[in-house]
Structure 1
């Protein structure tokens, strides 16, 4: 199996830097080959000006070869760092990641289908918030809702299987004993990354959505939250 590890943090000597070392080492120890894109150290240009530039094609080739995409970043203002957003803007191009036609209907494949179908996508996220604030009823919102644009609007939209975020909270207060547990948890998570259950987002089919791409009234009746776009209250096998 082959993984592409994309990370965005300005300081290599940081918690994120250590997570990157542990994560890549854990994959390597279980037989993975790993390609790494360090957006800050590589000086990736996040500005989308022209499509199809040479550096974008290179990154697309690297993504195409991956069975697993790991995207690692600190949570800044409830989103990803600008350089990572720019990487997605430039690399996930029309005709490559989306707007890929269905060979049977000619319509664009999306939401569970698309140019990146068959890949799994895991986010490794650090946050200064306490765990409860990024959970159900937390003031910051549940992490899966906070990252909805990435998990559903990017990964699922382009056909990838999104996995629940691997969240490290209280990131500014990590001591040695806490770090040891964080490292162990990440290793365990990566050992089972290809067999764990994906987030069970609904596919864009007539069974779930009407012609306006709105959920049928009979689907998750009374649920006006993002959870309505999941097929159940729990996750289903991917």
Structure 2
């Protein structure tokens, strides 16, 4: 059975991020996927990497070890979060730091130091990132250059071996209509079906 890992990072449980994750969960269940779902805020994930994790390949935090085991086995990775200052929320950045770690998500050739290009280890065939924003898409591109695309595609998933990457930004959420939100959810459902 295929395993899908769903990670939600939004402190508001009634957020569009949560609604999108729920739509993804229902769609993946209908497609017969085994699901692992994590709401980082509800689970009170600790984003701080401790000094005893300085080698970044093990942790005394059993939740981190569980996340590492799950992402290593995942066939499909889905992440839902708002755009905050052109970045993921800090809790999700901490998850990336602690979970997408050496010998789980990437490794180096023997005798290579950390300046070498890492080799990706994740087996996932595809990663999907769904963002919400209150910045209109035209302004996002013209003024900010879409930093989330660069972060997720180039700085994270490509280096971890997941070459099939899809990201969608939905918004502005503030002032959106029920019809707009329904259309976003329908698009997510269709996209997941086409990938899965």
TM-score tier (shorter): 0.7 to 0.9
Say whether 1:130 aligns with 2:130. no
Say whether 1:46 aligns with 2:47. yes
1:30 maps to 31
User: Aligned residues, how many?
Assistant: 186
Higher helix proportion: 2
**Gaps spanning 5+ residues in structure 2: where?**
none
Higher strand proportion: 2
| Contact 1:4–1:35, Cα closer than 8 Å, also in 2 | yes
- In the TM superposition, residue 84 of structure 1 has moved relative to its aligned partner by 0.2
Say whether 1:115 aligns with 2:116. no
RMSD: 2.0
Look up the SS of the partner of 1:37 in the other structure: strand
| Contact 1:151–1:162, Cα closer than 8 Å, also in 2 | no
**Farther off after superposition, 113-122 or 40-49:** 113-122
Say whether 1:139 aligns with 2:143. yes
Whole-Å separation in 1 of the counterparts to 2:123 and 2:189: 25
| Contact 2:83–2:133, Cα closer than 8 Å, also in 1 | yes
Larger Rg: 1
Look up the SS of the partner of 1:59 in the other structure: helix
Look up the SS of the partner of 1:172 in the other structure: coil
Q: Which has the higher contact order (CA 8 A, sep 6+)?
A: 2
Look up the SS of the partner of 1:86 in the other structure: helix
Instruction: Give the structure-1-normalised TM-score.
Output: 0.72
Map 1:17-166 to 2 at 5 A. 17-49=18-50, 50-51=52-53, 52-53=58-59, 54-101=62-109, 110=117, 113-135=119-141, 138-141=142-145, 143=146, 145-166=147-168
Instruction: Give the structure-2-normalised TM-score.
Output: 0.86
- In the TM superposition, residue 15 of structure 1 has moved relative to its aligned partner by 1.5
Q: Which runs of 4+ in 1 moved over 6 A?
A: none
Look up the SS of the partner of 1:157 in the other structure: coil
| Contact 1:79–1:147, Cα closer than 8 Å, also in 2 | no
Whole-Å separation in 2 of the counterparts to 1:183 and 1:146: 20
Map 1:135-214 to 2 at 5 A. 135=141, 138-141=142-145, 143=146, 145-194=147-196
